[in-house]
Structure 1
Amino acid sequence: MSRNVVLYELMSLDGFADDPGEGEWFGDADERFMGFLDEVIAKQDTVLLGRRTFDKWAPYWPTSTMQPFADFINTTPKLVFSSTDLGVAWSPSDQVRAAAAPFVTDLKRTDGGDIGIHGSLSLARTLLAAQLVDELRLVVAPSLDGRGKRLFDGDAGLQRFELLTSERSGGCLLLHYRRRS
């Protein structure tokens, strides 16, 4: 049996996912937004992070009270893809110097729950291009950002997903897709 890689991403209508919320483009999400997040993380027992996300999150999340994510991200094992030593300790985190795609291919074959990707756009795009992402959990804000990095940059080629659920949280869309076999 294979573990699922689940990509959870916050993004604007025009596809930008770089530093969501810092430009205040999320607006009127309600309690369903947090329920959607809780559904995603309830099945995850491993998180994959890129170096940039790790460096940004490591000083913030250990003292955050934003639930349910703070407890989850502070206690779940994190695998951080980086070729240079991590400058900050954030337990439980382990550095991975290997190439992401072969490493995740092997990780999917191990026992355990879902493997989550949160933020980490470069890593997410690498794993999408390698067709290793099994589910997309997207929160689409009712805003156009027009700047930053896009989650889908065109390098992944044609991939087909089926829509499992779609809900609203205020003006945001909460979308759940699964890769078609």
Structure 2
Amino acid sequence: MARKVVANITLSLDGRTTGPAGPYDMGWIVPHSITDMARDHLVAITDATTAVLGRSNYEGFGGFWPTVVDDESADERDRQFAEWLNKTEKVVFSHTLEELPWENSRAADREPAEMIRQLREEEGRDIYVLASQSIIRHLLDAGEVDRLSINLAPEVVGGGARLFEDGLQASSWTLTDLATSDSGSVWLIYDRVR
């Protein structure tokens, strides 16, 4: 069975992945990331055997999730996701990181589409690209995303980076699942029509 590549990301209603103040302007995401639905979704990811991250998310996730495992006050689902993140293979795309201190991390040694094609040939289950918009965009353009997992937050951010920029290759998708959260966000699962 071929490994499925899943792009997992939160978007605002105006299609943003960050706010107008730059890559770390993501406070609008927080209320939609701590809902029961969002946490249940994190647990569902833990069946995958590879996580793909860009430098920013590797550093951001690595600065937060490793310690959640031992935090007895954390939601059990957060602890389960953190344990998975610590143990799973992490493939990191970066031109600047010289060290990858988080256990089970390795640097990608080729461009995203080529690396994903290599990962598809290796043993394992699904491959999740975790919130790394530039990698997701590159993989979408190369036709290497099988599933889009989008947490659509009911926020108009008004500026910042977009996932879907002009120039992406056209593609068709089918809605295979959706769920709504108490915060008003909607989790949309789309599978690529091939």
Specify if TM > 0.5: yes
CA contact under 8 A between 1:82 and 1:97: conserved in structure 2?
no
Give the aligned partner of residue 174 of structure 1. Answer: 187
Distance 1:86 1:59, change over 3 A: farther
CA contact under 8 A between 1:10 and 1:17: conserved in structure 2?
yes
Q: Residue by residue, what CA displacement relative to the aligned partner does 1:82-120 show, whole Å, maximum 9, x if unpaired?
A: 234434511110011311111211211222100000011
Give, in angstroms, the shift of residue 49 of structure 1: 0.8
Q: Which runs of 5+ in 1 are unaligned?
A: none
Structure 2 residue 121 is matched with structure 1 residue 121: no
The 3-state SS of whatever aligns with 2:66 is helix
State TM-score, norm by structure 2. Answer: 0.84
Give the aligned partner of residue 112 of structure 2. Answer: 100
Give the aligned partner of residue 35 of structure 2. Answer: 30
CA contact under 8 A between 1:61 and 1:70: conserved in structure 2?
yes
Answer 1 or 2: which has greater strand percent. 1
5 Å-filtered alignment, 1:147-162, equals 147-162=159-174
CA contact under 8 A between 2:9 and 2:132: conserved in structure 1?
no
The 3-state SS of whatever aligns with 1:143 is coil
CA contact under 8 A between 2:147 and 2:189: conserved in structure 1?
yes
Match among 54, 58, 72 for residue 54 of structure 1: 58
Aligned residues: 180
- Segments ≥4 residues shifted beyond 6 Å: none
The 3-state SS of whatever aligns with 2:82 is helix
**C-alpha distance in 1 between matches for 2:97 and 2:29:** 33
User: Structure 2: which amino acid aligns with 1:115?
Assistant: I
State TM-score, norm by structure 1. Answer: 0.89
User: Structure 2: which amino acid aligns with 1:86?
Assistant: E
Give, in angstroms, the shift of residue 26 of structure 1: 4.9
Give, in angstroms, the shift of residue 140 of structure 1: 0.6
CA contact under 8 A between 1:13 and 1:141: conserved in structure 2?
yes
**C-alpha distance in 1 between matches for 2:25 and 2:160:** 12
Give the aligned partner of residue 8 of structure 1. Answer: 8
Q: Which runs of 5+ in 2 are unaligned?
A: 72-77
Answer 1 or 2: which has greater helix percent. 2
User: Structure 2: which amino acid aligns with 1:8?
Assistant: N
**C-alpha distance in 2 between matches for 1:43 and 1:130:** 25
Give, in angstroms, the shift of residue 33 of structure 1: 2.2
Structure 2 residue 135 is matched with structure 1 residue 131: no
